[in-house]
Structure 1
Amino acid sequence: MPPDTPLDPLDHALITALKRDGRASLSDLALQLNVTRTTVRTRLSKLLASGEIAGFTALTKGDLADSPVRALMMVAITGTGTDRTVSRILTMAPVQAAHATNGQWDVIVELATDSLETLDKTLTRIRRLEGVSHSETHLLMSTRRAQPTR
């Protein structure tokens, strides 16, 4: 699938099904999507080759135990150095991801740490970066995920 080829409804449905259950077999996906296993295998191969699906990952109990303190930090950045500031944020170990957004905040940062103390130190480091004008942080108390549909 060339990089400029738009995704069709079947591609979107396949991606949605895999987000719900990344372990689903080709047969299960074919049944859900009402297509053949060969169609699923071909589409999946093309989505992987094009980079539309970047990969698969597993989240273990250990991952959650190692970083039980999770938070979202909304960050406002002034000036023209947003890319540089975000690059610096991404070098910090507790940072899982940084999402560009619209509205009051420029970036939403996902954080996962082993303790509130480590979280506090990371928040302070981010707030002290050049260009960061203000921020707001929310602790994630619990997480519910969509269940696989089978």
Structure 2
Amino acid sequence: MNKFDRAILRALERDARQSFADLAEEVGMSKTPCWNRVQGLEASGAILGYRAMVEPEAVGLTLDAFVQVSVSFADHAAFEAAACEHPSVIACYTTAGDADYLLHVMARDVAHLDGLLRGQLRRMPGVERFNTTIGMKRIKRAGAVMAAVE
């Protein structure tokens, strides 16, 4: 990955809807080579896709919860598959420490979260126990990956 690739990724993270002409101008290339580089970044997996950022509160999701989950040894693969399929699980990470996984879950309110935890998440494969922390106020939303590269 060279300086043009990194510049393209930074620019697309900032605004993926810009035209190839604008993108090429911003990174100091002509349009066709820039387009070819974007295709190469897509093919290599450096660009995973393009999507709109949705404001959770605008669609009624006002609660962020972070759930530490301990899973029985034999059920990790099944748990991971279930976490990937669950629509309320925004992100899932393996962890080092007391728990095996950290889930980011979004819910409408505390009652909705309680229903998710008791009725769905505790029934996921291998769940032995979980501990939930409720986020009170989001300070920073998903940052730019390329800013961390610098």
The answer to whether the 8 A contact 2:78-2:125 is kept is no
Q: TM-score, normalised by structure 2?
A: 0.70
Query: 1:143, CA displacement in angstroms?
Result: 4.3
CA distance change for structure 1 residues 23 and 78 in 2, over 3 Å: closer, same or farther?
Answer: same
Instruction: List aligned pairs for 1:125-144, cutoff 5 A.
Output: 125-140=120-135, 141-144=137-140
Alignment root-mean-square deviation, CA? 3.0
SS at match of 1:80: helix
Cα distance in 1 between the residues matched to 2:124 and 2:117: 10
- Correspondence for 1:3: none
2:114 counterpart letter in structure 1: D
Aligned AA for 2:140?
R
* Letter of the 1:58 counterpart: A
- d(CA) in 2 for partners of 1:106 and 1:34? 45
Quickly say closer, same or farther: Cα 1:131–1:47, change in 2 above 3 A. same
Partner residue of 2:96 out of 103, 111, 119: 103
Please point out which of 109, 113, 124 is paired with 2:107.
113
Unaligned runs of 5+ in 2: none
Q: How many residues align?
A: 141
CA distance in 1, matches of 2:132, 2:102: 9
CA distance in structure 1 between the aligned counterparts of 2:9 and 2:95, rounded to whole angstroms: 25
Map 1:1-150 onto structure 2 (within 5 A): 7-61=1-55, 64-99=58-93, 101-104=94-97, 105-124=99-118, 125-140=120-135, 141-145=137-141, 146=143
Kept in 1, the 8 Å contact 2:56–2:62? The answer is no
SS of aligned partner of 1:81:
helix
Deviation at residue 61 of structure 1 after TM alignment? 4.3
Alpha-carbon separation, structure 1, partners of 2:96 and 2:15 = 32
Which amino acid in 1 is paired with 2:52?
A
Q: Please say if residues 82 and 125 of structure 2, whose CA atoms lie closer than 8 Å, have aligned partners that are also in contact.
A: no
Cα displacement string for residues 13-60 of structure 1 (whole angstroms, at most 9, x for unaligned residues): 422332232223334433443333333211112222444423211123
**What's the CA shift for 1:95?**
1.9
Structure 1 residues without counterparts, runs of 5 or longer:
1-6
TM-score by length of 1: 0.70
